[in-house]
């Protein structure tokens, strides 16, 4: 029986998003590489991170924070793929 190595969530996302990176046009890759969250989303993410670090986050806020973290991971992986597609340094 073949043993499967347990991989981390970011590795799974990287593998699943690889086809997306390969189909990016140069214009789409540039736009994705420069993508930034709006000010409200950025402020909320920082607020939730602070509460999490301080131990004052509620269960509901923790669920919301985990969504922010997961979304940030997806965007970061896609941006890395976009930069690789453009052959630009990080």
Label residue 90 by pLDDT band (50, 70, 90).
Answer: very low
Q: Is residue 61 one of the residues assigned to a domain?
A: yes
Label residue 10 by pLDDT band (50, 70, 90).
Answer: confident
Tens-place pLDDT, residues 28-43: 999 999 999 999 999 9
Q: Is residue 68 one of the residues assigned to a domain?
A: yes
Q: Is residue 55 one of the residues assigned to a domain?
A: yes
Q: Is residue 4 one of the residues assigned to a domain?
A: no
Q: What percent of the chain has pLDDT over 70?
A: 94
Q: Is residue 79 one of the residues assigned to a domain?
A: yes
Q: Is residue 3 one of the residues assigned to a domain?
A: no
Range of the structural domain that residue 61 is part of: 9-85
Q: Who contacts 22 (Cβ-Cβ below 8 Å, separation ≥6)?
A: 85
pTM value is 0.80
Buried b (16+ CB within 10 A) or exposed e, 54-82: eeebeeeeeeebeebeeeeebeebbbbbb
Q: Is residue 63 one of the residues assigned to a domain?
A: yes
Tens-place pLDDT, residues 67-77: 999 999 999 99
The pLDDT value recorded for residue 4 is 72
Total domains present in the chain: 1
Q: Who contacts 29 (Cβ-Cβ below 8 Å, separation ≥6)?
A: 82, 83, 85, 86
CA atoms within 13 A on the CB side of 6: 0
């Amino acid at each position: 029986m073949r043993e499967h190595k347990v991989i981390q969530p970011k590795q799974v996302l990287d593998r699943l998003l690889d086809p997306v990176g390969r189909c990016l046009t140069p214009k789409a890759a540039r736009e994705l590489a420069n993508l930034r969250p709006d000010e409200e989303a950025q402020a909320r993410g920082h607020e939730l991170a602070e509460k999490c670090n301080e131990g004052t986050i509620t269960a509901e806020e923790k669920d919301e924070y985990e969504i922010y973290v997961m979304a940030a991971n997806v965007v970061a992986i896609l941006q890395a793929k976009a930069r690789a597609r453009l052959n630009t340094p990080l």
